[in-house]
């Protein structure tokens, strides 16, 4: 993103207006501020302090490094400004059945043997009585369980180069941090509540928004980052919302911060409950917790009681309730309005993908940056690509609910027996029959991600790769034992997560 957009043509945009200053609004502002020449095209962001932000998106995935690089963010500064910690993956507890747990790590399991993916050998060895859990062959799992973390090695020969990482951060501090950077780069912020949106009579394009103060702000391109309110794309332009509640029935959350425990673990935990699940996100200054649940099966009071019962440490604030509906707008780019963030759609936070979807939409918008003629091909292409992202991530999340053996509640009985998209049905069938993963390389979640969750949810392939039989089982067992030992030793050599965070952030402070 080093080249600024040439805005010299007669039809070039002159004013970009971003409505909303949550994670979506300020990520968009920060990214556009790198590529737009502000002398020729202004970027203005409007947010209402009285309304505030949703403020719960606190877990990320490694793709965020790409955003940080493109926007020119300094990692240490970001971590210090947002009280961030490192994240090696997500631990899923009680999903397949009570007492089970597995990790979806940011790293690979084991090593290929003779060109065949490791999980085929693991499945084969398990049938022969090897009881070492799959996770024990994965550095993020082994290190995470010991609360250890260090930056991955850069030498590809080291087992400590086989993982990646993301962050947990304070959502409000993240928006503030991006605001500071955006304003330094010339983005103009206006505080106030929008009470009216004017459309051009000729074509229904958005012409201006009016604030409570009476101020009218005109623009050529409007980016709707107004959160669940969807002021522009929904209220003003009337683009419909497609509900996916039949596949992702959870529609409520109660968020509850708590004091930090003594040990700072480098992973998110998602614990399944009778009508949903509870997240636990460790930050430097507090732990974020929340219970995501389905209001068809559980009341707010029951959900709060369960959340409180499962806190590891005492709550430090009152419960905060949120309502949502899984799904997406039928079009995220309509006329001169692009919806980014919660205004465009929502997939529950089970795999921490919402911030990624914001990032993907911003990058796609920059690639297809319009002029005032708003070429229909650009918006059609944007909409098709974002739709594809949403559907692929949707399927991955549904898998966690569908592939369960739980029979202990009406909610789980519904999830276990519900119809699922054909695209997911196909992937599950292929894996079950052959141990292979049907995916395309352009997807966010690739083979290792699918294998982690498919096996974690206890979908065991009926057959493994036939090449597994080419190597004597004893030799495989020896190699796997050696792998396990290497993983254990490598993980034990790492500093604790708390030490790494303290050193990293202190170094940043010293340099600042
Ligand atoms: C329970 C839950 C947990 C989540 N956890 C995660 C997670 O772990 N990881 C992840 O990636 N994502 C997560 N998300 C999603 C994440 O929170 C959002 O994607 C992210 O915060 C972006 O929100 P936003 O900026 O679209 O909306 P908001 O933060 O709601 O911002 C909306 C903005 O619009 C402004 N606004 C609204 N109306 C007006 C008006 N009339 N006038 C002026 N301004 C207005 C508001 O003031 C605000 O600034 C979670 C979401 C929920 C609901």
Closest ligand 1 atom to Cα of 171: 21
The 10s digit of each residue's pLDDT in 231-261 is 999 999 999 999 999 999 999 999 999 999 9
Q: Which ligand 1 atom sits nearest the alpha carbon of residue 356?
A: 11
Compute the distance from residue 55 Cα to the ligand 1 centre, in Å: 6
Could you give the residue ranges of the DSSP H alpha helices within 317-446?
Answer: 354-367, 376-402, 410-417, 422-434
3-state SS of 106-168?
Answer: CECCCCCECCECHHHHHHHHHHCCCCCCHHHHCHHHHHHHCCECCCCCCCCCCHHHCECCEEE
Ligand 1 center to residue 344 CA distance, Å? 11
Q: Is the CB–ligand 1 distance for residue 51 below 6 Å?
A: yes
Q: Please classify residue 39 by burial: count the beta carbons closer than 10 Å to its beta carbon, then call 0-12 exposed, 13-18 middle and 19+ buried.
A: exposed
Full set of structural domains in the chain with CATH: 10-58+170-239+325-391 (3.50.50.60), 102-165+421-499 (no CATH), 252-323 (no CATH)
pLDDT value at residue 275: 98
Residue 511 has pLDDT above 90, yes or no: no
Q: Is 97 a catalytic residue?
A: no
Share of the chain above pLDDT 90, in %: 95
What pLDDT was estimated at residue 510? 53
| 429 pLDDT higher than 70 | yes
**Centroid of chain to Cα 310:** 23
Q: Place 2 in a pLDDT band, splitting at 50, 70 and 90.
A: very low
Q: Tell whether the model's pLDDT for residue 5 goes beyond 60.
A: no
Find the 35 Cα to ligand 1 centroid distance in Å.
Answer: 24
CA–CA dist 324, 345 (Å, integer): 10
Give pTM, 2 decimals: 0.96
Residue 26's CB is within 10 A of a number of other CB atoms, namely: 28
Instruction: State whether the beta carbon of 322 lies less than 6 angstroms from ligand 1.
Output: yes
Best mutation site among 254, 303, 349 for ligand 1, i.e. most ligand atoms within 8 A of its Cβ? 349
Residue nearest ligand 1's atom 7 by CA: 57
Residue 356 CA to residue 167 CA, distance in Å, equals 12
Please tell me the distance between residue 352's alpha carbon and the centre of ligand 1 in angstroms: 13
Q: For atom 17 of ligand 1, which residue has the closest CA?
A: 57
Phi/psi for 404 (5° steps) reads -125, 155
Q: Could you tell me if the CB of 290 is within 6 A of ligand 1?
A: yes
353-382: per-residue pLDDT in tens?
A: 999 999 999 999 999 999 999 999 999 999
Is any ligand 1 atom within 6 A of the Cβ of residue 352? yes
Res. 512 pLDDT band, cuts 50 70 90: very low
Both tokens of 361, joined, read 């939409």
Task: For a ligand 1 pocket test, name from 17, 57, 196 the mutation site with the most ligand atoms within 8 angstroms of its C-beta.
Answer: 57
Q: 89 in ligand 1 pocket by Cβ < 6 Å?
A: no
Q: Which of 87, 145, 328, 364 is catalytic?
A: 87
CB of 410 closer than 8 Å to CB of 297: yes
Q: Please, what is the average pLDDT of the chain?
A: 95
> Is the Cα dihedral 405, 407, 409, 415 positive or negative?
positive
Tell which wins on pLDDT, 505 or 8: 505
Cβ–ligand 1 distance for 58 under 6 Å, the answer: yes
Structure confidence at residue 43 as a pLDDT band (50, 70, 90): very high
- % of the chain with per-residue pLDDT over 70: 97
211 in ligand 1 pocket by Cβ < 6 Å? no
CB atoms within 10 A of CB 507: 12
- Verify whether ligand 1 is closer than 6 Å to residue 220 (CB atom): no
**Ligand 1 atom closest to Cα of 51?**
47
pLDDT higher than 90, residue 1: no
Distance CA 470, CA 413 (A): 42
Q: Ligand 1 in contact with 350 (CB < 6 A)?
A: no
What is the Cα–Cα distance from 149 to 16, expressed in whole angstroms?
A: 41
Cα gap 468→434, rounded to integer Å: 12
Look at residues 376, 19, 409 and name the one whose alpha carbon lies nearest to residue 191: 19
Helix (H, G, I), strand (E, B) or coil at 338: strand
CA dist 57 and 169 (Å) reads 8
Q: Which tens digits make up the pLDDT trace of 69-117? A: 999 999 999 999 999 999 999 999 999 999 999 999 999 999 999 999 9
Task: Give nearest CA residue, ligand 1 atom 41.
Answer: 194
Q: Is 193 in the pocket of ligand 1 (CB under 6 A)?
A: yes
Q: How far is the CA of 21 from the centre of ligand 1 (A)?
A: 9
Residue 145 is predicted with a pLDDT of 97
pLDDT of residue 467: 94
Q: What is the pLDDT of residue 427?
A: 96
Mean pLDDT of 388-397: 97
């Amino acid at each position: 993103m080093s080249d600024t957009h040439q805005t010299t043509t007669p039809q070039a945009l002159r004013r970009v207006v971003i409505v909303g200053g949550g994670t979506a609004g300020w990520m968009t502002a920060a990214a556009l501020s790198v590529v737009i020449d502000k002398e020729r095209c202004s970027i203005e962001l409007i947010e209402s302090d009285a309304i505030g932000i949703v403020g719960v998106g606190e877990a990320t995935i490694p793709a965020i490094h790409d955003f940080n690089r493109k926007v020119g963010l300094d990692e240490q500064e970001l971590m210090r400004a947002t009280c961030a910690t490192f994240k090696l993956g997500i631990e899923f507890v009680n999903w397949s059945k009570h007492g089970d747990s597995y990790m979806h790590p940011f790293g690979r399991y084991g090593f290929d043997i003779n060109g065949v993916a490791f999980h085929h050998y693991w499945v084969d060895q398990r049938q022969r009585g090897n009881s070492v859990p799959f996770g024990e062959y994965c550095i993020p799992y082994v290190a995470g369980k010991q609360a250890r973390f260090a930056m991955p090695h850069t030498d590809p020969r080291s087992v400590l180069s086989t993982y990646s990482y993301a962050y947990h951060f304070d959502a409000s501090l993240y928006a503030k941090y991006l605001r500071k950077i955006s304003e330094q780069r010339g983005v103009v912020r206006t505080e106030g509540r929008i009470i009216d949106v004017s459309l051009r009579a000729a074509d229904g394009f958005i012409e201006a928004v009016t604030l409570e103060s009476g101020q009218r702000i005109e623009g050529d391109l409007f980016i709707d980052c107004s959160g669940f309110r969807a002021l522009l794309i929904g209220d003003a332009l009337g683009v419909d919302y497609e509900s996916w509640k039949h596949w992702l029935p959870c529609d409520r959350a109660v968020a509850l911060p708590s004091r930090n425990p003594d040990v700072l673990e480098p992973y998110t935990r998602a614990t399944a409950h009778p009508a949903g699940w509870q997240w636990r996100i460790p930050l430097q200054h507090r732990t974020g917790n929340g219970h995501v649940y389905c209001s068809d099966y559980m009341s707010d009071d029951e959900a709060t009681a369960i959340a409180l019962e499962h806190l590891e440490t005492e709550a430090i604030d009152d419960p905060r309730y949120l309502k949502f509906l899984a799904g997406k707008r039928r079009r995220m780019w309509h006329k001169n309005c692009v919806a980014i963030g919660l205004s465009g759609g929502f997939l529950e936070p089970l795999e921490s993908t919402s911030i990624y979807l914001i990032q993907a939409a911003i990058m796609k918008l920059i690639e297809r940056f319009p002029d005032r003629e708003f070429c229909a091909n650009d918006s059609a292409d944007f909409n098709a690509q974002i739709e594809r992202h949403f559907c692929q991530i949707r399927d991955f999340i549904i898998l966690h609910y569908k592939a369960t053996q739980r029979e202990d509640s009406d909610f789980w009985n519904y999830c276990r027996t519900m119809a699922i998209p054909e695209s997911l049905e196909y992937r599950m069938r292929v894996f079950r029959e052959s141990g292979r993963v049907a995916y395309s390389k352009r997807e966010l979640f690739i083979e290792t991600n699918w294998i982690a969750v498919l096996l974690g949810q206890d979908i065991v392939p009926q057959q493994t790769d036939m090449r597994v039989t080419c190597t004597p089982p004893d030799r495989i067992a020896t190699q796997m034992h050696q792998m396990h030992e290497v993983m254990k030793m490598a993980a034990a050599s790492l500093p604790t997560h708390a030490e790494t965070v303290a050193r990293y952030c202190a170094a940043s402070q010293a340099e600042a």
